[in-house]
Amino acid sequence: MNVYSKIRASLSVRNQGRLTKFLVNSGIKPTVNKAAKSPFEKGIVIFSADFEMAWAFSFSKTKQKEAIEKGLSERKNVPVILDLFEKYNIPVTWATVGHLFLSQCIRGVNGLAHPEMPRPGFFENRNWNFSSGDWYQHDSCTDVKSDPAWYASDLIDRIIASKTNHEIGCHTFSHIDFTYKNCPKSLADAEIDACIKLAADKGIKLNSMVFPGGTFGNYESLKERGFTCYRKPMRYHIDLPYVDSHGMVAIPSSLGLDKDPYGWTKEFHLKMIRNYLIKAAKYKLVCHFWFHPSMDKWYLENLMPEVLKMVADYRSSGKIEVKTMSKLAEEVVGNR
């Protein structure tokens, strides 16, 4: 934790909101890597979505009870999100939990879900606590009709069928903690191999990774399987991607899009997002917006249409380009 994070964590939620508002209004946030030498001709905007349905919340310390509800709101929101992004022809990198490629699954003879998959040992991290039973204990082992929060083959088909050229990326098979500490290499390999196989059945090659809950690790497993990039928070909100020691491209993460807990107005949200675009354009760096498709209805209905219109307007005025994660990674490697 740096000094700023320590100060921020000591504040009440209300005052955290006030602090961020002050930083945005005074032009401090977003921060920019002004020393970076950009190889790009324009600012680059990226959108990625953590597409995970109920899987993300199975062992959540705070949201486990909301798992199904979250899954069902993703199911409801994805078609709306697809229509919106198609309207402005803005592509998204959908970092997808591998199990969502399925439309059904069945229990093994030993009574366990996915007996072919290795399991993590018990662990606790910042967000999750897996301390008893089987890792797949919440898997219904039914189908999309009976348990629509756990399967999404139909939604993935809609993403693929969109007129906008979206990318399908990876978010592990079962939304696992991917750190070296909690995920041995054999488990990391098996999780990614399962995703690769299911994606290939739909004609998709996986190139981009979003680590579940920011559990960075097991880069070797990704590199060996042809992945080219991943999303990672960097020192600055608006920053430059870099090629890591494995030869993969680390792409900055700039801002999560959703309703805030501070009571901010729509106008303030738009002002903040405009500041991100202005700085990305000015310094020709990367601005990476990410979101959960389960996002709040208020944000989806009131903010997203205007955010996408703003991005599309910036693009048509020639100030920025919009790319998927893997397209950006190709360009970064090509520029070297």
Question: Applying CB under 5 A, which residues contact Zn ion?
Answer: 50, 52, 56, 105, 113, 139, 212
SS3 content of the chain, % helix, strand, coil (to 5): 40, 15, 45
For 43, the enclosing helix (H) or strand (E) is strand 43-51
Q: Which is nearer to Zn ion, 38 or 125 (CB)?
A: 125
Rounded to the nearest whole angstrom, what is the least distance from the CB of residue 25 to Zn ion in the complex?
31
Rounded to the nearest whole angstrom, what is the least distance from the CB of residue 175 to Zn ion in the complex?
6
Q: Which is nearer to Zn ion, 72 or 105 (CB)?
A: 105
Q: What angle do CA 35, 46, 84 make, to 5 degrees?
A: 150
Residue 230 · residue 210 · CB < 8 Å? yes
Positive or negative torsion for Cα 215, 219, 221, 227: positive
DSSP state of 247: S
Q: What angle do CA 17, 18, 23 make, to 5 degrees?
A: 100
The closest residue (CB) to Zn ion is: 105
Cα(221)–Cα(224) distance, rounded to whole angstroms? 5
Cα(71)–Cα(52) distance, rounded to whole angstroms? 8
Q: Which is nearer to Zn ion, 137 or 165 (CB)?
A: 137
Nearest-CA neighbor of 286 among 257, 322, 248?
A: 322
Q: Which is nearer to Zn ion, 152 or 285 (CB)?
A: 152
**Chain centre to alpha carbon of residue 63:** 18
For 7, the enclosing helix (H) or strand (E) is helix 3-9
Exposure letters 28-61 (e unless 16+ CB within 10 A, then b): ebbebbeebeeebeebbbbbbbbbbbbbbbbbbe
Rounded to the nearest whole angstrom, what is the least distance from the CB of residue 145 to Zn ion in the complex?
14
Rounded to the nearest whole angstrom, what is the least distance from the CB of residue 15 to Zn ion in the complex?
28
Q: Which is nearer to Zn ion, 68 or 105 (CB)?
A: 105
Q: Which is nearer to Zn ion, 57 or 314 (CB)?
A: 57
Q: Which is nearer to Zn ion, 33 or 93 (CB)?
A: 93
Rounded to the nearest whole angstrom, what is the least distance from the CB of residue 193 to Zn ion in the complex?
16
Rounded to the nearest whole angstrom, what is the least distance from the CB of residue 212 to Zn ion in the complex?
4
Provide the angle, in degrees to the nearest 10, between the axes of the packed helices 153-161 and 67-87.
10
Q: Which is nearer to Zn ion, 23 or 141 (CB)?
A: 141
Rounded to the nearest whole angstrom, what is the least distance from the CB of residue 246 to Zn ion in the complex?
22
Rounded to the nearest whole angstrom, what is the least distance from the CB of residue 4 to Zn ion in the complex?
25
